[in-house]
A and B are shown apart, each in its own frame.
Chain A
């Protein structure tokens, strides 16, 4: 073996074909695994590319990462605390408006993001044309069009993952600028948060979540720090 090993998380809205993509990529090389002291089990599978092994983790399908439900917390915690090497955001090409919403939230949390626009075949039939280059410039991360059902766009996808983990592509994920009033408040607490939690999690993101009143995240951070024994 001796393959280099990378963890790739899949997130997406429900019904975007995220699991279809996961299944198509990993074939039958799947199992459900627990992660670091958690009781939550997630489907995992692996795919070999060049001399690397990508371990794919199929996170629960969610509309957002605001911890409105257990699934959302699971997905959020994985991205924030388990820090996958790359996060694939799987979007439904036929309802991008709502789907981008989730992509933007992921990009607030982590840098190495690939936007996978799935169901592209269906979107084309419906007369939806997606200009991935333009989106790529706007979002600062790779944007790919795929069809998981028809296994279209996979070589490009694997190659992009490969180039991100090699450092050949530097993601500069787009950071939302909020209205001035909110930005001011973020600024007020961001520094303090950074002092407490360091670089483990994006302080700006935590600041935003705190302003949003996301208490469960605070509990989770405290728990995570205790687990790692440096709090």
Chain B
């Protein structure tokens, strides 16, 4: 007899009552263990948690506090990352001079120097200097909120809204994780017990901009949207624009969840439970060190593993000519008409395509294309950067649509791999790719056509 047969046989012995009895018995035993092994001197209640919950989940303050918290986390990340980013970039630039000297001393051929220093070195160091500082600030801040116990309250507050679209309140947590890394967030959807809601969380996680897209979003928000401001106000306006972009992503998430739960994912039953643990003061130092060190390390590894090959590949594309133009230019020309429809251009489209392995490298590839230097470019100041874009016909519309495309487009390679691992389904992985892609094309298209129709540009 096989186990399956035995199982079928045994189901005749099993009743609903037995299942209940088993759990009931476990509980009774646990209770007895407590009776005998634990004494409760005074039933002192955890009034701190109760009082804090009355504020954090209050009908009046609950939502405003959440939005302010989100804004604060973003602001700390953006404002705090500025200086270390510049320092890192300066350091890598300084180091590059010595590398260049070394290569010319060794009389290495130009193509090798180009591939290794201008492609590989610049590509990876760009990723590190742009991505590392925000990561090193965002993750610890997030971890502190998590360890303190605030995040489950967010899931508690938000559940009603998620329920309306057929999703789970805990999705707000996996979304929050997505701000750091969508690939990690896809794995974190395991906290959602019910399969249907979990699938929704997986398929829509991409609409939360991950760390790799932050750089892009921050650059364009501050260059084009907050252009008229300086100093602290500028950071504030940038933050405001980013919060707007994020909220738009949330709206898309809700909309897509709602459509999916009415169509492809309808009918499968749901269940919901959420524990609200007591608030506990986190070990601030430990948390900060741990999450920044471990996350920073993973950024470095990722930069080397993913960004480096992509940077080399881009360099090769930009430097191998077919006819009298490079492969990259051919591709740009081919994609340009399509890009224009979306208020973008061929360079932007190719940057997103080559950026599939990692969103971090979209911006450097774009710059590389614009400058046709065939290598990732160092840009000394933000003003230079803006001039490059303007010289290529950028307006606020290009910047806006670029940000929206970045927000909405297909997940990066790592995320897609994780989606496949988690869902074990080619169909769902494909849907996770195609749904965002269609939306990322539609929305900029509609905006671009509307703006042109009314002649606002």
Contact = CB atoms under 8 A, between A and B. Distances in A.
The contact size tier of chain B is 35 or more
Contacts of B29: 100, 104, 176
A135 B37 contact: yes
A212 B42 contact: no
Nearest to B24: A179
B6 A196 contact: yes
Given A178-B25, A182-B22, A213-B14, A104 B41 contact: no
Contacts of A130: 37-38
Contacts of B373: none
B427 interface: no
A184 B286 CA distance: 52
A49 B13 CA distance: 48
A222 B193 CA distance: 24
A130 to B, nearest CB: 5
A96 interface: yes
A147 to B, nearest CB: 11
B2 interface: yes
B10 A189 contact: yes
A204 to B, nearest CB: 13
Given A23-B290, A70-B190, A134-B36, A179 B21 contact: yes
Interface residues of A, number: 58
A96 B26 contact: no
B19 interface: yes
A134 B33 CA distance: 9
Contact of B38 (A69, A131, A212): A131
- Which residue, A97, A100, A208, has most C-beta atoms of chain B within 10 A? A100
Quick one: which of A70, A98, A131, A208 has the most chain B CB within 10 A?
A70
Contact of A210 (B2, B10, B27, B294): B10
Contact of A212 (B18, B36, B278, B280): B18
25 contacts: A15-B277, A20-B283, A23-B290, A28-B293, A69-B193, A74-B190, A94-B278, A100-B29, A100-B33, A122-B280, A126-B46, A129-B39, A138-B36, A138-B37, A178-B22, A182-B18, A182-B25, A193-B6, A196-B6, A208-B22, A210-B10, A211-B10, A211-B13, A212-B19, A222-B3
